[in-house]
Chains A and B, each alone.
Chain A
Amino acid sequence: AQSVTQLGSHVSVSEGALVLLRCNYSSSVPPYLFWYVQYPNQGLQLLLKYTSAATLVKGINGFEAEFKKSETSFHLTKPSAHMSDAAEYFCAVSLNTGANSKLTFGKGITLSVRP
């Protein structure tokens, strides 16, 4: 079984400030980890994914995340926030077994960016 914990439901930063969105996971086998972004009334767009290659993963729109096995974490960061980054962000985990690859999502974090 696998699960994801995203602490806090809302993060607010100033434009140009560092973005840090936290994600901790639980998995009985080595996981695949994902960050998705969702804009209002839209589906989910993949930001980046960890698939047991490099532990520091770079994604689209300047986001990156670091897989830390010892901390069971996969936090999302961006050095400088932009107004267009305001959205909801979901961390997700799936099993690295080749079987059903369903995603298990966290509850999501709403990111607000202040001018």
Chain B
Amino acid sequence: DTGVSQNPRHKITKRGQNVTFRCDPISEHNRLYWYRQTLGQGPEFLTYFQNEAQLEKSRLLSDRFSAERPKGSFSTLEIQRTEQGDSAMYLCASSPRGSSLNEQFFGPGTRLTVL
């Protein structure tokens, strides 16, 4: 399968713990996005990478959130000191180099439950 992959698919953690999610985009896609989706809502933009550079962060991304994309390949999203309000589906998407159509390909998501 050559689509976007995300790991883990599910994560249950206790409040106050740190968690890290990984996203592997489609090979040679240089744009990578993270979104958060809470129950009954559409996905909301969190952050965007072009290659290894993080070019935009949403105000939704508090100081407890950090994302990286070393070497412009996979990306990680870390949440420190998790809160119950962080419970959501975290979606990753990638877009091909030179795409003028803004089409994004989504992974299956990581569902986070904070107890």
Contact = CB atoms under 8 A, between A and B. Distances in A.
Interface of A: 4, 9, 32, 34, 36, 41-46, 49, 51, 90, 92, 94-96, 98, 100-108
Contact of A108 (B31, B33, B42, B105): B42
Interface residues of B, number: 29
Contact of B56 (A36, A92, A100): A100
Given A101-B99, A103-B104, A108-B40, 18 more contacts: A32-B101, A41-B108, A43-B6, A43-B91, A43-B108, A44-B43, A44-B91, A45-B106, A46-B103, A46-B104, A51-B101, A90-B43, A92-B42, A96-B102, A100-B56, A101-B104, A102-B45, A107-B42
Pick the most buried of A9, A32, A102: most chain B CB atoms within 10 A of its CB: A102
Contacts of B93: 44, 103
30 contacts: A32-B102, A34-B103, A36-B106, A41-B108, A41-B111, A43-B6, A43-B91, A43-B107, A44-B91, A44-B93, A51-B101, A51-B102, A90-B42, A90-B43, A94-B102, A95-B102, A96-B102, A101-B95, A101-B99, A101-B102, A101-B104, A102-B33, A102-B56, A103-B35, A103-B43, A103-B45, A103-B93, A106-B42, A107-B40, A108-B41
Nearest to B41: A107
